Structures are given as structure tokens and as C-alpha cells.
Amino acid sequence: MELYRGIPVSPGVAIGPALILDAAGMRIPQRRITPQMTEEEILRIHQALAVASAQTRETQQSISDRLGKHYGAIFAAHRLLLEDTSFIAELESLIRHETVSAETAVSRVIRDYVKTLESLGSDQSLALRAADLVDVEKRIQQELHGETIDPLKNLEDPVIILANDLSPSETASLDSKKVFAFATEHGGKTSHSAILANALQIPAVVGIGPVINSLNGSEIVIVDGTQGLLIINPDSPTIQRYRSILREQQHHAYRWIEHRDLLAQTRDGVRVELFANIEFPQESSQVTIRGAEGVGLYRTEFLYVGRTCDPTEEEHYQAYMSVIREVGNDRPIVIRTLDLGADKFPHMLRTYTPEKNPALGLRSVRFCLRNLPIFRTQLRAILRAALHGKVQMMFPMISTLLEIRQCKMILAEVCEDLHEEGIPFKKDIRIGTMIEVPSAAIMADHLAREVDFFSIGTNDLVQYTLATDRTNEMVANLFSATDPSVLYLIELVVQAVKKHQIELTICGEMSGEPLYIPLLLGMGIRRFSATPAKIPEVKKIIRLLDIPTTEQIAQTALRLETARDITSFLNRQWRQLFPDQVD
Ligand code: PEP
Ligand code: MG
């Protein structure tokens, strides 16, 4: 049994067979054959090795010609393995005696070599050799497979995915009936894949570090998305313990229902509003089921999942109408305009050119303002749908005053067009901006004059304030919503909305974290928007608090100097306030 620690991003536990996806998204195969097929499989392996060896010889030659013999020698070493008689004998023996396919045999033998190399310590040159072995395996597997197939499509049996990384679009297309959980070597707490795992209610752990190269796909694994653990080949006491946690999990799955219809109101009668963040129209049913009062953030960029072209106006419109129908035309629905780019579907954009720093590049509203047909198409659809419900429009990643003014100008033009075309639309739609870039928080006093509401996106606000990539596990320790600099910016925003009497919501992952609720309430925030699954718990916490206590907590927290001090203080307060709920 091996245990790895990572970052817990989506709660719950799962036990099941591993499906391993390496850095190239290649699936580590597991297939058995009948005894009659063994000679055929052995022939396949010989053919694949011969082709792979010939290809490697060519690569060796061309690299030697271009870069010198020294570099070509790397591929000479690959060939040595491909032609090594004991390697081939091991493969044949596995196929014959364990009746596994050629692909499985290659994967098992090479991954055993990798494991042995890695067990010899952290010697850099050995690590490189391990990477070479994986490269050789890839070449043989490609030969065996022929063309590559999408390993996540048409899964027959339920699996737990262990991957180098999962892109937001890969995560978005996971079928939660077939994927019990996932764990990735890379990723951060507020990466979009993590947010999607929550939306899909798939237990997940990210940032576990290098593990998959030493696995061969025959493992049984446990993912504990609550504690942030990945357990490979658990022993039987561990399996038993987790089976009972699973039973408990299933038993309590609907415990939250008791809070659903209660009002989000503090003990001293202060009304708080709770909204849900959604990514897909299909999630809309969860909004009311979980007791949210509407949609505080609809991330429309997920309309791009599984597509090769831009959604049409009609497709946008139908998606928004289905949310309105499901959530109800009397509940607020905040539709955020496309936040494409950075880690969200950059390669699907027709105008995409690779950027050195995509998170600081042509992302989000900047992209829309440079690609007006795409932007206008979406604005038209939102304005049309807004006639049928309490729809509001929100612009993401606004970093200057000029940007929000440009958005308003385009919106006015689009209204004009619709009017001239005689198409019915909502004329006085409420508009808002996300505050998720430090410059927007600093300029909140000015921005507040331009819009009807603000929504603080703490995921990006933390990322950009602390210069810490939200998707990078190597800096996950620096990514902290309680850093005094972040709280200082939130305070600026709260002051601006009070002065200008506009609405304020907080919609980053911070708003669904029970530990932060007392602090945020104490700072004056009265509207929260969180993943639907988090709503009942947040409501429960709100109902146990009173405002004077939260104000005292906020006052003390805001005097502290480091994120660690503030988090420890909040934890101590939590233990005092809710001694029964300390987990
Ligand atoms: C945020 O940045 O906090 C936010 C809500 O937007 P997203 O997570 O979609 O970037
Ligand atoms: Mg954001």
C-alpha cells in the first residue's frame, strides 16, 4: 500500500480500479486475452518492437546529423532496450503465463523498471532514465494501438482516473456515473478542473506530485477528496475503513435537505442572500434543490465544452432559456459573459495564438473586446433571454475603467441593432462587473459609478494579488484567500459599494468555505454565491452566527499580519463557536 498526499478539492471518497492517463493523455492499458491468443499477441509485440526500433534508428540518425552524436546517443539507448533479449523474454513470459495483451505486458514491464529506478533515490540522471523508459513505452504503445483514441470516451466500467493533469474541458466531459473520482499530479485548489469536480460532485485530489509513471494500471485505489489522499493498492483494513466511510457518506448524502427551505438569516435576524455558481444549464436543477435563491454566477464559457466552433446566438439563447425555465423567472440569474482563455478552452478559439503568460494575456473580457462578433452574439442572446426572467449581465476580468466603458458602449450598440431589427429584448438590463483583478478593487470607488453591482471573484483576486498561479500545486502554499493583502482589497470594495449603494456578491471558492463565512459576514458581505453542493452548509453556518460576533472576528482578523495568523485565528474562533462541528 502506498499513500500520497495532495490538495483536497472535491469532497467524498471512492474506491475502484485505476485508469491511468499519462502526460500525453495516453491510457495505460489493462486487457486480458484468451490462452489461444497468446502466439498472436507475441507476434504483435515483435512487429511493434521492430517498427519502433527502426523508427528510433531514424530519429537517432537525424538527431545526430543535426545536433551531434552526443544527442543521438539518447536514442541509441532507447534502441538497446527495444532490442534487448531479456526485455523481450519478459514480455513474452507475461503474455504467455498471465494471458495479458501485448499493451498490458509492455506497460507492466516498463513501469516495473521505472519503479526500480525511482526506488534508487532522487538522483537526477536516474530520473531522466525513467523518463526515457516512459518515452520508449509510448513509442511501442503507439505502434500497438495504431491511431490514438480518446481514453475518456465510452468507458465501460467505473474507474478512478489518475492523471498527470486534466484540462477543464476533459473534466467537464467526465461522466460521473463512470468516473468515481480522480487524482492528478498537478493542479491547485481553485483551478477550473477543481471547480468542475465540485460541480459534478466527483471526489477529487490534485497536486499529488509524480506518481503515475510507476503505476501499470492494474491497481485498486482509494481517492479521499475530503482529506486529500490517494492510496494505491490499499491493504484490507484500509479498504474496510473506507467502505464504512463510503456507507456513512451514502447514508448522509441527503442530510442537507433539512436546511434547504430555511431562510439564510443570522441568529440576530440579519438577512443574507445565498446564490449558486453554475457552469452548465444541466446544473440548474441543483440551484433550487440545494436551497439557493438564484444563480449568482453562470460561467458561460463552458458552452464551449466538446465543441470545435463558436456557439451560435440561438445556442446561447437556448442555454440561457433552459436555466431560466429550471431556476424560475422570479429568481435572479447572473449571466457572466465569456471568460475564455488562460486555462479555459484557449485552443478552441479560432483566433488563438499561444501566449507566454496566458493568465496575464488575452483572456476573458479582453478577448471579447478584440473579437467583437463573438461578444455581440452573446450579448444579443443574453438581452433576448432577459425578457423572460430576472437576468443580469456581468463582465469578468475587468481591470480598467475604460474596459467597462467599452463593454457598455458595445452593449448600447447591440441594443440599438436589436431595436432596429425589431427583435424583442430587455432594454434596462442590470449590469455588473467582477472584481477579480487588484486594479479593479483599487479602483472600486470609480467602477461603482459605472455598474449596478459588483461580484468579487476571489479565485482570480488571490491569484493576481499574490502573483500565484491558481493551477500550480508548487505554489499552492502561497495561494491564500486570508492573506491580509487580499482582505484589504475586499475591504476597499465593501467601502465602495456602501458609498455608492450598489449590490455586492462574493462568488469565488472562498464564499463556499465555512471557515471564512464569519469573517466575510463581519466584513459586511451579505450575498454569497457558491457551488450548489456547498449552499446548505453555508446556510447552516450563517444561521448559527450573529453579526456582532462576526464583526469582532473581522476586526481582530484584519489587524493580523499574515495569512497563517489569520487562518489560525479563524480556526480557533471556529472551535469556540462550533465545538460540535470541529472536524
Ligand atoms: C473567480 O475568479 O473567483 C471566479 C469566480 O471566476 P472563475 O473561477 O471562473 O475564474
Ligand atoms: Mg475569475
336 ligand 1 Cβ < 6 A: no
How do residues 431-474 score in pLDDT, each as one tens digit?
999 999 999 999 999 999 999 999 999 999 999 999 999 989 89
How far is the centre of ligand 1, averaged over its atoms, from the C-alpha of 252 (Å)? 29
Dihedral angle over CA of 537, 539, 541, 545, nearest 10: 180
The confidence band for 30, taking pLDDT boundaries of 50, 70 and 90, is confident
Dihedral angle over CA of 570, 571, 575, 576, nearest 10: -30
What distance in Å separates the CA atoms of residue 583 and residue 578, rounded to the nearest whole number? Answer: 10
363 ligand 1 Cβ < 6 A: no
The confidence band for 134, taking pLDDT boundaries of 50, 70 and 90, is confident
On the question of pLDDT at 149 being above 60, the answer is: no
Task: Verify whether residue 192 is a known catalytic residue.
Answer: yes
Ligand 1: which atom is nearest the Cα of residue 277? Answer: 5
Task: Verify whether residue 309 is a known catalytic residue.
Answer: no
What sign does the CA torsion over 171, 174, 177, 182 have?
A: negative
326 ligand 1 Cβ < 6 A: no
Candidate list 368, 407, 415, 507, residue with the active-site label: 507
Across the chain, mean pLDDT equals 90
490 ligand 1 Cβ < 6 A: no
343 ligand 1 Cβ < 6 A: no
User: Of 557, 580, 458, which is closest to residue 509 (Cα–Cα)?
Assistant: 458
How do residues 303-326 score in pLDDT, each as one tens digit?
987 777 889 999 999 999 999 999
**Best residue among 459, 480, 506 to mutate for probing ligand 1, ranked by most atoms within 8 Å of CB:** 459
On the question of pLDDT at 124 being above 60, the answer is: no
Residue 333's contacts (CB-CB under 8 Å, 6 or more residues apart) are 294, 295, 298, 320, 323, 324, 327, 389, 390, 391, 392
430 ligand 1 Cβ < 6 A: no
The predicted structure's pLDDT at residue 25: 62
What sign does the CA torsion over 121, 123, 129, 135 have?
A: positive
Q: Hey, how many other C-beta atoms are within 10 angstroms of the C-beta on 372?
A: 13
How do residues 171-198 score in pLDDT, each as one tens digit?
877 888 899 999 999 988 888 888 889 8
Instruction: Give alpha helix (H) positions in 466-506.
Output: 484-500
On the question of pLDDT at 19 being above 80, the answer is: yes
Helix (H) / strand (E) containing 144: helix 124-145
Task: Please calculate the CA angle 336-460-382 and round it to the nearest 5 degrees.
Answer: 5
Q: Are 414 and 375 in contact (CB under 8 A)?
A: no
On the question of pLDDT at 108 being above 90, the answer is: no
Q: Are 286 and 276 in contact (CB under 8 A)?
A: yes
- Looking at residue 338, the DSSP 8-state letter turns out to be P
Alpha-carbon 559 to chain mean position = 33
On the question of pLDDT at 351 being above 70, the answer is: no
Most confident stretch, 76-80, 360-364, 452-456, 538-542: 452-456
How far is the centre of ligand 1, averaged over its atoms, from the C-alpha of 209 (Å)? 25
What number of residues does the chain have? 583
User: Of 275, 368, 250, which is closest to residue 13 (Cα–Cα)?
Assistant: 250
Q: Are 521 and 538 in contact (CB under 8 A)?
A: no
Closest residue by CA, ligand 1 atom 6: 457
Q: Are 264 and 272 in contact (CB under 8 A)?
A: yes
How far is the centre of ligand 1, averaged over its atoms, from the C-alpha of 456 (Å)? 9
The predicted structure's pLDDT at residue 272: 98
What distance in Å separates the CA atoms of residue 333 and residue 82, rounded to the nearest whole number? Answer: 59
**Best residue among 280, 434, 493, 528 to mutate for probing ligand 1, ranked by most atoms within 8 Å of CB:** 434
Candidate list 192, 316, 368, 415, residue with the active-site label: 192
Q: What is the DSSP string of 26-54?
A: -B----B--GGGHHHHHHHHHHHHHHHHH
471 ligand 1 Cβ < 6 A: no
Q: Are 230 and 211 in contact (CB under 8 A)?
A: yes
198 ligand 1 Cβ < 6 A: no
pLDDT over 90, % of the chain:
65
231-235, 347-351, 485-489, 554-558: lowest mean pLDDT where? Answer: 347-351
Cell 499574490 belongs to which residue?
466
Q: Are 177 and 495 in contact (CB under 8 A)?
A: no
The predicted structure's pLDDT at residue 118: 72
Instruction: Give alpha helix (H) positions in 290-343.
Output: 313-327
Ligand positioned closest to the Cα atom of 455:
1
The predicted structure's pLDDT at residue 170: 79
Q: Are 273 and 550 in contact (CB under 8 A)?
A: no
How far is the centre of ligand 1, averaged over its atoms, from the C-alpha of 337 (Å)? 12
How far is the centre of ligand 2, averaged over its atoms, from the C-alpha of 397 (Å)? 7
Ligand positioned closest to the Cα atom of 528:
1
What distance in Å separates the CA atoms of residue 405 and residue 416, rounded to the nearest whole number? Answer: 17
